[in-house]
Amino acid sequence: MSKSDHGKTKVELVDELDALRRRLAQTEAAARPSEADDLYRRLIRFLPDAVRIACDGVVVYANDAAAELFGTGSPDLLIGRSTDDFNPEEDRAIVRARRRTVRAAGFTPTEERRKLRLDGSIVHIEVTGMRIDWHGKPATLTVMRDIGARVEGRRQREENEARFAALAENVPGAVYQCALRPSGDFAFSYVSDGVRALFGTTPDAAMNDAEGLFARIHADDRNRFMAAMHESAAGMVVADLEFRVLGRKGRVGWVRSTARPRQRDDDDAVIWDGVFLDVTDRQAALESLRTAKDAAELANRSKTEFLTHMSHELRTPLNTIMGFSEVIEAELFGPVGSPRYTEYASDIRSSGAHLLSLINEILDLSKIEAGKLEFHDDVIDVGAVIEESLALLKRRTENGKLRLAVRIANKLPHLRADERRLRQILLNLLSNAAKYTPDGGTVRVSVSATSRDGMSIKVTDNGIGMSAEDCQRVFRPFEQVDNEQNRRAQGTGLGLPLARSLVEGHGGRLALDSAPGKGTRITVRFPAMRLVA
């Protein structure tokens, strides 16, 4: 019950007034009416609450607080007015019924009402009425208090609650407020309606029985959830975890709970403001991705194991074929007769070497994808390795079909790298440059190094070039640019992907810059940490 400015409730004030009325009634017989009236007026004039006395619905007395409440400036301006003047039209029937209650029962309980001020504005009051005698006539004494601030605060609170409820209902899950009491019990003070879809229960049921809601968490996840909440309370850190729940009809779903704790001052309880989100679809997608990833990794491992096992079976007969073809081509055991036989033997050896190179590249790429390719670093003279690799282009440069320009910086530092892999990188890049550069074209090779940027090897040609889209495609294994030159070259689509992987295995980067009809430049950069002065 509300208190007055003096700390007394309305009932206490009315009881005091009633006691005064009885004492005055006892003395009225011995006192002149004017003296009793003056005494009564002095007793109630300075009460902090508005006091009004009415006979037959007409005001016969009001104190200063009543004048201030109704905006009349003076109590005298209230005297003689009908009490209906201060009641909104729609409330007058209720007020008349209240008067009858006062006459019959002698009082009315405290309640909230609206009143009209003199300027027509509404004032919200808390009112208590009781029956008294006023100069021998039955009258109603009404005690009123302005509760406008309280009503406005309540209205704002209700609006905020409605706004919050509307927001909570639009959250794809359930908003909640949960407390861990000093006794160790959990209790929900608020749960939005989204809990129905997530947990198959109602907000009221959750607020009445927190343990009942927790019981819907999957048995294998329940202890983990409770441990996370207790850890959050102990460290005052956000509780964020995902768990399975048993919803309606035994449906198992996934829920993510995120809640921030705070300490409640009055009883040291920990309060969480949190949200339950439905992540069932995301978990299903993740599970599908995991399954697909596992299947892909299994397939990749199977492929690598197959290639590893098959490499020996393929290489052994190929080496035999290549060896005997070289013997026949060189006529080591005497003339073979027709010159065509030596030509055929040369073709057999060349085709075998190409096939062996292809097998090695596929195997290397598989090892790289499986993370099993090993690198054996040595201190390498890069210039010497480049000169050796350029021998690949010797035949075309000697007959004038291809021009070659080489520029190696003076005092080039050595490089710490796997020499075999570096040669493999260079052979792939030079082979591609020669393959896609028409007769009369030029292939340029340059090497430079700085202590800050490391070593840079550039292979540039003025061949057919590629579009931006094709520049992305050529780094995907077994994919090639679809053009006439490429069909004539009969490449495998493994050279650039393998070269880039080998460069990255050394901690470096391979970049490609090309445009149709303007040639291609490939830049290989090794980090400065690999330079050896």
Give the pLDDT confidence of 58-95 residue by residue, as tens digits.
999 999 899 999 999 899 999 999 988 898 988 888 88
CA distances from 506 to 112, 307, 383, 428 (A): 83, 24, 18, 16
Angle between helices 495-505 and 419-435 (to 10 degrees): 150
- Provide CB contacts within 8 A for 297, sequence distance 6+: none
Give the pLDDT confidence of 271-305 residue by residue, as tens digits.
999 999 999 888 889 889 999 988 888 887 777 77
Q: Are strands 270-278 and 252-263 parallel, antiparallel or unpaired?
A: antiparallel
- Note whether 207 and 188 are within 8 A (CB): yes
Task: State residue 340 phi and psi, 5-degree precision.
Answer: -65, -30
Banded pLDDT at 319 (limits 50, 70, 90): confident
Collapsing DSSP to helix, strand or coil, 270 comes out as strand
**61 forms bridges with which residues in the sheet?**
53
Q: Are strands 414-417 and 520-526 parallel, antiparallel or unpaired?
A: unpaired
Q: Examine domains 10-151 and 171-278 and report if their fold is the same.
A: yes
Smallest Cα–Cα separation from 231: which of 221, 242, 241? 241
- As to burial, measured by CB atoms within 10 angstroms (0-12 exposed, 13-18 middle, 19+ buried), residue 250 is exposed
The two structure tokens encoding residue 128: 């208590």
Give the pLDDT confidence of 16-37 residue by residue, as tens digits.
556 555 555 554 444 455 555 6
Banded pLDDT at 134 (limits 50, 70, 90): confident
More confident residue, 138 or 362: 138
Banded pLDDT at 343 (limits 50, 70, 90): confident
Q: How far apart are CA 276 and CA 257, in angstroms?
A: 5
Mean pLDDT to the nearest integer, 467-496: 69
Smallest Cα–Cα separation from 417: which of 503, 498, 340? 503
Banded pLDDT at 455 (limits 50, 70, 90): very high
DSSP state of 413: P
> Domain limits of the chain?
10-151, 171-278, 285-369, 378-532
Q: How far apart are CA 220 and CA 412, in angstroms?
A: 64
What was the pLDDT predicted at 470?
85
Collapsing DSSP to helix, strand or coil, 91 comes out as helix
Angle between helices 339-369 and 280-330 (to 10 degrees): 160
H or E element, residue 20 = helix 10-28
The answer, yes or no, to whether residue 414 has pLDDT greater than 70, is: yes
Within 247-399, strands assigned E span 252-263, 270-278, 378-380
What was the pLDDT predicted at 251?
81
- Report yes or no on whether pTM surpasses 0.85: no
What was the pLDDT predicted at 189?
92
Place of tokens 């070289």: 326
- Note whether 465 and 516 are within 8 A (CB): yes
Q: How far apart are CA 521 and CA 327, in angstroms?
A: 40
Q: How far apart are CA 287 and CA 1, in angstroms?
A: 59
Q: How far apart are CA 406 and CA 390, in angstroms?
A: 9
Place of tokens 């002698």: 106
Q: How far apart are CA 299 and CA 370, in angstroms?
A: 11
Task: State residue 379 phi and psi, 5-degree precision.
Answer: -90, 115
Within 83-185, strands assigned E span 107-116, 122-134, 137-146, 173-180
- Note whether 527 and 473 are within 8 A (CB): no
- The CATH code that applies to domain 378-532 is 3.30.565.10
The answer, yes or no, to whether residue 194 has pLDDT greater than 60, is: yes
Class of domain 285-369: mainly alpha
Class of domain 10-151: alpha beta
What was the pLDDT predicted at 484?
54
- Note whether 395 and 358 are within 8 A (CB): no
Mean pLDDT to the nearest integer, 104-113: 82
Smallest Cα–Cα separation from 143: which of 129, 123, 124, 125? 129
| Percent of all residues in the chain with a pLDDT value above 90, rounded to a whole number | 36
The answer, yes or no, to whether residue 524 has pLDDT greater than 90, is: yes
Give the pLDDT confidence of 217-232 residue by residue, as tens digits.
999 999 999 999 999 9
For 349, other C-beta atoms within 10 Å of its C-beta total 19
The two structure tokens encoding residue 404: 């070659």
Q: How far apart are CA 337 and CA 154, in angstroms?
A: 114
Banded pLDDT at 7 (limits 50, 70, 90): very low
What was the pLDDT predicted at 458?
96
For 444, other C-beta atoms within 10 Å of its C-beta total 17
Mean pLDDT to the nearest integer, 189-214: 92
Banded pLDDT at 435 (limits 50, 70, 90): confident
CATH number for the 171-278 domain, one of 3.30.70.100, 3.40.1280.10, 3.30.1490.100, 3.30.450.20?
A: 3.30.450.20
Banded pLDDT at 432 (limits 50, 70, 90): confident
Task: State residue 3 phi and psi, 5-degree precision.
Answer: -110, 155
Collapsing DSSP to helix, strand or coil, 261 comes out as strand
Smallest Cα–Cα separation from 503: which of 429, 435, 404, 452? 429
